[in-house]
Amino acid sequence: MKFFVDSADLDQIAALNDIGLVDGVTTNPSIIAKSGRDFKEVVAEICALVEGPVSAEVIAMDTDGMLAEGRELRKIADNICVKLPLTMEGLKACKIFSREGISTNVTLCFSANQALLAAKCGASFISPFIGRLDDITQDGIELIEDIRMIYDNYGYETEILAASIRNVNHIKDCALVGADVITSPPDVIRKMANHPLTDAGLAGFMKDWKKTGQTIL
């Protein structure tokens, strides 16, 4: 499973990247606003930091505008993935970019039918928002499961990029149902390493080791 970081915080991305846990990065207009940074500048820095795809989202609502913005964003770096909204205009732009071999991430997906359309339009990634579905008492993981089955039924190569991850169980459940990628806030990825029995076990080992009076180095 690939891990993308859903953030524009360079320090957080770099820290996880150093461990080898970053296969890509996703941003959206809200994340860029939160960073307080210039959009192109911060995305360029992220692209220089990580090898994998870095999603940068268009703002235009019409296909021509999306194409123009997407082409502009692609000038930033080769690993820019153009993020497009799941609208008919966005799907049209997706198909055109797909024919040109430009990587795309179709975002704001909340149904299996939307995901099917994105695959038919050659999206590189589809981003179902599981946390936001859970927020309205719909099952986000069930959506990932449905998309997995549909894509496998027809051999679509669009990668399922589970987004709107809110907790560690989301990541585990996405892995169980076969999402190709998760994009997660950095702190949720860090929390995956935590377990109280690990802490307690380590404390016990350290206490007993002290009794031996030995050193390794």
Residues annotated as part of the active site = 83
- What part of residues 120-139 is at the interface with ligand G3P (CB under 6 A)? 127, 129, 131-132
Assess 158 for contact with ligand G3P (CB under 6 A): no
In the complex, the smallest distance separating the C-beta of residue 93 from ligand G3P, rounded to whole angstroms, is: 19
The distance of closest approach from Cβ of residue 201 to ligand G3P in the complex, given in angstroms and rounded to an integer, is: 33
The residue from 163, 171, 174, 182 that contacts ligand G3P (CB under 6 A) is: 163
With contact defined as beta carbons under 8 Å apart, do 144 and 179 qualify?
yes
Q: Which of residues 17-36 bind ligand G3P (CB under 6 A)?
A: 26, 28
* Binding characters for ligand G3P, 183-212, by CB under 6 A (x = yes): x-----------------------------
Nearer to ligand G3P, 54 or 163 (CB): 163
62: left (phi over 0), alpha (psi -120 to 50) or beta: beta
- Cβ-contact 211, 25 below 8 angstroms: no
Phi, psi of 178 (to 5 degrees): 90, 30
Angstrom distances, CA of residue 82 to CA of 28, 69, 90, 145: 11, 9, 11, 25
Site for ligand G3P in 52-91 (CB under 6 A): none
Report how far residue 107's alpha carbon sits from residue 117's, in angstroms, rounded to the nearest whole number.
12
Cβ neighbours, 10 Å, residue 11: 9
Q: Indicate whether 164 belongs to the interface with ligand G3P (CB under 6 A).
A: yes
The number of residues that bind ligand G3P (CB under 6 A) is 10
> Residue holding tokens 């909204």?
85
Contact positions toward ligand G3P, by CB under 6 A? 6, 26, 28, 127, 129, 131-132, 163-164, 183
